[in-house]
Amino acid sequence: MTTDLQSRPRGIGSDYEKVRKLLGSYGPERLEELRDEAIRAFAAVGIPTTKDEEFKYLPLRVLEEGQFASAYGATVSRHEAESGAIGKIEAATIAFVNGQAAPELSHPYVLPGGVFLGTLEDGFGVIADVLDEHLGKIATLAGKLGTTNDDRFVQLNTAYLSEGAVLFVPKGVVVETPIHIQYLNRADHGPCAIYPRTLIVLEADAQAKVVESHVGLDGIVFSNAVTEIWLGHSAKLEHCKVQIEGEHSVHIAKVGAHQEVGSTLTSNNVNFGGKIVRNDIDVFLGGEHTETWLNGANVGSGEQVVDNHTRIDHAMPNCHSFEVYKTVLADKAQGVFNGKIFVYKDAQKTDAKQTNQALLLSPTAAINTKPQLEIFADDVKCTHGASIGQLREDALFYLRSRGIPYAEARSLLVYAFVAEVLDKITVPDLRDSLERMLFEKLRSVSELPPAEETGA
Amino acid sequence: MLEIKNLHARVEGREILRGIDLSVGAGEVHAIMGPNGSGKSTLASVIAGKPEYEVTEGSITLGDADLLELTPEERAAEGLFLAFQYPIEIPGVSNTYFLRAALNSVRKHRGEPEVSMTEFMKHIRSKAAAMDMDQAMLSRAVNEGFSGGEKKRNEIFQMAVLEPKIAVLDETDSGLDIDALKIVADGVNALRSPERGFVVITHYQRLLNYIVPDFVHVLVDGRIVRSGGKELALQLEDQGYGFLEEELAGQARS
């Protein structure tokens, strides 16, 4: 075998030495140590197999054999960016193509004073103290409860840390304009590995709405994203993560959030694309009286695998979390839901509610669901419910009684099942285009009456 | 127009309807009254074709159509409309989309072309205005978070949009305060026409002060035991269902 001369690496992470120097040109020197440490941690465990508890249902052989080259440049026109899957969202936009900043696609807005929206690179020049304090500190599970904690894809992302996005909103500032952090991927010269990194820091009483989109335009991409979110005292963030990667791509993402006293986080996690998709949405409640909403809307068809792991660390008393994850699977699609809730010893008066529901549209679709509650406090209210389901008969009859034929009525209820979650998104452009996309996706697997501009 | 003959039906093996005969002509309003558990709502469900009800005997026809041979959606296409006692919430589907899908399905069944979006919006906006309905309700999800009164009003609004030949109102008055009742009744009265028939099912006479029926039928224990004009409703209001039940018991003894 001619391995040395082969320009493409064997497995994910194996070309680190080759690109190390190039990575070193991004950000201050101290990042080099961080990267080196991260690749060592990743290499020690390597690409997971289904024997690894946290990746039990995720087939990742493709990461060994897929010959993904580390990110190379590609060109995307503004027209392509705005007419693509998500369309144009009225938002302050920072765009990346294959992980590299694409200022020509960005949409600068006049943001309130003190707000920083830019690349990590620029961030080190303007708000170095914020980056030093938070970058790489939030996403890790080190020191947290749990016996199967697995940070390897956070490490991998950190090893390849280069360009990325930062949003910083200082104390008391409310950003009304939605922020769009747009990762566009185009693998037009063979499979490509991309490592998007996002840091969102809201200081006390700050508010923002962030759309983080991952959209595949061409080819086979391995996108390994990490997003770190810090919410200060009484800060409020709506974070919409939208994944519409190409049909042969692999997307493995982690959103790690830390909430201080009285803060509110709404996480909307939408997955329509990709071949193999994994999200870890982890929230650490580091202050009392916080509110956390985790919403998930997932549709899989063909041979897609959609795996969502969520984790909420109720480390402080008097915090509320509400979680609703919905998944529709057609054809041979596979789904996974794992919902961990840790209630720490001192976290009395915790109120945690977790719901996950799946609809299977074909006998060959399947979902593995596992609520995992570990409660070390005694005065708490924790509920979880899982259903793999049937459509509501009463609603089906209601629609039919109005003249809508059985097959269409069924499809409409499948649509409604997911749209109910999308309705929680408060960025109207995004919600509308996601509903349109949902509609088209379901239309390809079942019968739906035409939508036109009815805003179904 | 709507002909029900010797209708027997059961649910979960229990016979609820035990030989109903009812004939509703075009332009007529028939009220069906009766005590709780007499089979009123079952009658409405059976007419509309709710799957868990089994018809064991008899027939229901609408014009030339044998309703019992048809699916619920085909019955709707033939011109039947049921206003639900408990309208269903469907989060995620807007009223507008729902109604347009319904209207076009019905039109398709009848071999008529689909209505254009512009025509459709004009149609529903005028109907909503006539019902004194907030236009914002059109873009909201079907019945989601609606109050009891709003849900019932939405039923009548749907009826106005779909323009059925026969409308069956299943306890549309239940849970309504007097103001909501008036709004709903006004909506129904506005739809009264020489071509359209109504079956108004109610436990209380109150609704019939506002929707004045041509005929009143009293349903007891799965049978129509008395039919009359609107004065029958007033008599029931005064005397309750007790006197009828006693009479029936007397007849049974003799």
Q: Is the per-residue pLDDT at A205 higher than 50?
A: yes
Give the pLDDT score at A10.
Answer: 75
Q: Is residue A76 part of a domain?
A: yes
Same-domain check for residues A395 and A385: no
Q: Is residue A7 part of a domain?
A: no
Q: Strands, DSSP E only, in A98-160?
A: 100-101, 116-119
Count other C-beta atoms under 10 Å from residue A219's C-beta: 17
Q: Which CATH number fits domain B2-253: 3.40.50.150, 3.90.79.10, 3.40.50.300, 3.40.50.880?
A: 3.40.50.300
| Residues β-bridged to residue A268 | A240, A295
**pLDDT one-digit tens code per residue, A136-175:** 999 999 999 999 999 999 999 999 999 999 999 999 999 9
Count other C-beta atoms under 10 Å from residue B73's C-beta: 24
Same-domain check for residues A376 and A396: no
Q: Is the per-residue pLDDT at A401 higher than 50?
A: yes
| Burial category of A63 from C-beta neighbours within 10 Å (exposed 0-12, middle 13-18, buried 19 and up) | buried
Q: Is residue A27 part of a domain?
A: yes
**Per CB distance under 8 Å, which residues of A are interface residues toward B?**
392-395, 397-406, 408-409, 412-413, 415-420, 422-423, 449, 451-456
Give dist(CA A441, CA A452) in Å, integer: 15
Same-domain check for residues A146 and A255: yes
Give dist(CA A8, CA A375) in Å, integer: 47
Q: Which residues of B touch A401 (CB under 8 A)?
A: 48-49, 72-73, 75-76, 81-82, 84
Contact state of A454 with B117 under an 8 Å Cβ cutoff:
yes
Q: Which residues of A touch B96 (CB under 8 A)?
A: 454-455
**pLDDT one-digit tens code per residue, B187-221:** 899 999 999 999 999 988 889 999 999 999 999 99
| Residues β-bridged to residue A147 | none
- A141 token code pair: 């599970």
Give the pLDDT score at A2.
Answer: 37
Give dist(CA B203, CA B206) in Å, integer: 9
Give the pLDDT score at A102.
Answer: 94
Q: If you ran DSSP here, which 8-state letter would residue A286 be given?
A: -
Same-domain check for residues A160 and A83: yes
- The tally of domains found in chain A comes to 2
Q: Is residue A1 part of a domain?
A: no
- How far lies A431's CA from each of A86, A181, A217, A443, A455, in Å? 10, 16, 21, 18, 10
Q: Which residues of B touch A456 (CB under 8 A)?
A: 93-94, 97
B141 interface with A at CB cutoff 8 Å? yes
The whole-angstrom distance between A363's CA and the closest CA on chain B is 24
Domain final residue pick, A337, A354, A389:
A389
Same-domain check for residues A399 and A376: no
Q: Which residues of B touch A417 (CB under 8 A)?
A: 92
Of A400, A410, A436, A448, which to mutate for an interface test with B (greatest number of B Cβ within 10 Å)? A400
Q: Is the per-residue pLDDT at A451 higher than 60?
A: no
**Cα radius of gyration rounded to whole Å, chain A:** 21
Average pLDDT, chain B: 91
Same-domain check for residues A140 and A269: yes
Q: Is residue B238 very low, low, confident or very high in pLDDT (cuts 50, 70, 90)?
A: confident
Give the residue from chain A lying closest to B159, CA to CA: A402
Q: Is residue A188 very low, low, confident or very high in pLDDT (cuts 50, 70, 90)?
A: very high
Same-domain check for residues A182 and A292: yes
| Burial category of A110 from C-beta neighbours within 10 Å (exposed 0-12, middle 13-18, buried 19 and up) | exposed
Give dist(CA B102, CA B39) in Å, integer: 28
Q: Is residue A361 very low, low, confident or very high in pLDDT (cuts 50, 70, 90)?
A: confident
Same-domain check for residues A358 and A428: no
Please name the member of A405, A409, A423 whose beta carbon is closest to the beta carbon of B92.
A423
Count Cβ neighbours within 10 Å for each residue of A393-414 and write b for 16 or more, e otherwise.
eebbbbbbbbbbbeebbbbbbb
Contact state of A399 with B141 under an 8 Å Cβ cutoff:
no
Comparison of pLDDT for A449 and B108, the residue scoring more: B108
Chain CA centroid to CA B29, Å? 11
Count other C-beta atoms under 10 Å from residue B144's C-beta: 17
Going by C-alpha positions, the residue among A169, A106, A255, A180 that lies closest to residue A429 is A180
Q: Is the per-residue pLDDT at A358 higher than 70?
A: yes
Q: Is residue A453 very low, low, confident or very high in pLDDT (cuts 50, 70, 90)?
A: very low
The sign of the torsion formed by the CA atoms of A81, A87, A92, A94 equals negative
The whole-angstrom distance between B74's CA and the closest CA on chain A is 7
Going by C-alpha positions, the residue among A161, A100, A174, A170 that lies closest to residue A135 is A161
The whole-angstrom distance between A403's CA and the closest CA on chain B is 4
Of A295, A326, A401, A417, which to mutate for an interface test with B (greatest number of B Cβ within 10 Å)? A401
Q: What does B120-138 look like in DSSP terms, one character per residue?
A: HHHHHHHHHHHTT--THHH
Same-domain check for residues A372 and A449: no
List the domain boundaries for chain B. Answer: 2-253
- Distant-in-sequence contacts of B11-17, Cβ < 8 A, 24+ apart: B11/B42, B11/B52, B11/B53, B11/B54, B12/B52, B15/B56, B15/B222, B16/B42, B16/B222, B17/B42, B17/B43, B17/B46, B17/B222
Residue recorded with tokens 């200081």: A203
B88 interface with A at CB cutoff 8 Å? yes
Average pLDDT over residues A318-327: 97
Same-domain check for residues A427 and A330: no
Contact A334, A306 (CB under 8 A): yes
Give the residue from chain B lying closest to A424, CA to CA: B92
Please name the member of B73, B104, B162 whose beta carbon is closest to the beta carbon of A400.
B73
Query: What backbone phi and psi angles, to 5 degrees, belong to A66?
Result: -75, -5
Please name the member of A412, A413, A454 whose beta carbon is closest to the beta carbon of B96.
A454
Q: Is residue A4 part of a domain?
A: no
- A439 token code pair: 């509609």
- How far lies B114's CA from each of A370, B105, B107, in Å? 46, 8, 6
Q: Is residue A6 part of a domain?
A: no
Q: Which residues of B touch A455 (CB under 8 A)?
A: 94, 96-97, 139
Q: Is the per-residue pLDDT at B165 higher than 90?
A: yes
Question: Which domain does A265 fall in, by range?
Answer: 16-389
Contact state of A402 with B141 under an 8 Å Cβ cutoff:
no
Q: Is the per-residue pLDDT at B152 higher than 80?
A: yes
Find all residues with CB under 8 Å of A134, minimum gap 6, and list them.
A199, A201, A228, A230
Same-domain check for residues A181 and A308: yes
| Residues β-bridged to residue A407 | none
Q: Is the per-residue pLDDT at A452 higher than 70?
A: no
Q: Number of residue pairs across A and B with CB atoms under 8 Å?
A: 100
Q: Is residue A219 very low, low, confident or very high in pLDDT (cuts 50, 70, 90)?
A: very high
Domain final residue pick, A371, A389, A407:
A389
B174 interface with A at CB cutoff 8 Å? no
Please name the member of A402, A419, A453 whose beta carbon is closest to the beta carbon of B92.
A419
Contact B169, B201 (CB under 8 A): yes
Give the residue from chain B lying closest to A415, CA to CA: B92
Same-domain check for residues A209 and A106: yes
